Amino acid sequence: MDINTKRIQKSIVVAARLHDTWLRWTTPAGLKTFFGMDNKVELHPGGAYEIYFLMDNPEGTRGGEGNQVLSYLPDEMLSFTWNAPPTIPEVRNHDHRTWVVVTFKAVTTESTEVTLNHVGWLDGDKWDETYAYFDNAWDMVLNSLQENCKA
């Protein structure tokens, strides 16, 4: 199993203080403001980092289930594993998980740059389909974050 060099990289500036932006990504209440319907976050290495989108679906098909925090530096970086959507079971049920690294950098006292890198991809048609899915999905997540920070 060889991990290729493909990477999804997205960056956006939001109208929120650095620490407030960090809290949006690392707390259940913060995530609910822009990402998913519900979640389970345990901010420690190996802790849960699950985002639920389809609450009426059976357990195991609600979204980002089974994902874990890999590491973090408060107000600087968060990394977590990530799985494929239920619509791509060949990748979702694979032993290998991709991972996401989100970094935070103050631009001003009232704005923060958020950069997301999604890496750890394998080769194959279904992996390419998953990559294309998230290349679009992460734009929607970051745009939702940006919209939420305007309020």
Which domains can be identified in the chain, with CATH numbers?
8-150 (3.30.530.20)
In the prediction, which pLDDT does 151 show?
56
Which amino acid is residue 63, in one-letter code? G
To the nearest whole number, what is the mean pLDDT of the chain? 95
Lowest mean pLDDT among 4-13, 55-64, 83-92: 55-64
Question: What pTM does this model have?
Answer: 0.94
Mutual angle of helices 125-150 and 18-26, in 10-degree steps: 130
- Sheet bearing 49-52, strands edge to edge: 38-41, 49-52, 63-64
Contact predicate 84/91, CB 8 Å: yes
pLDDT digits (tens, 9 = 90+) for 81-93: 999 998 999 999 9
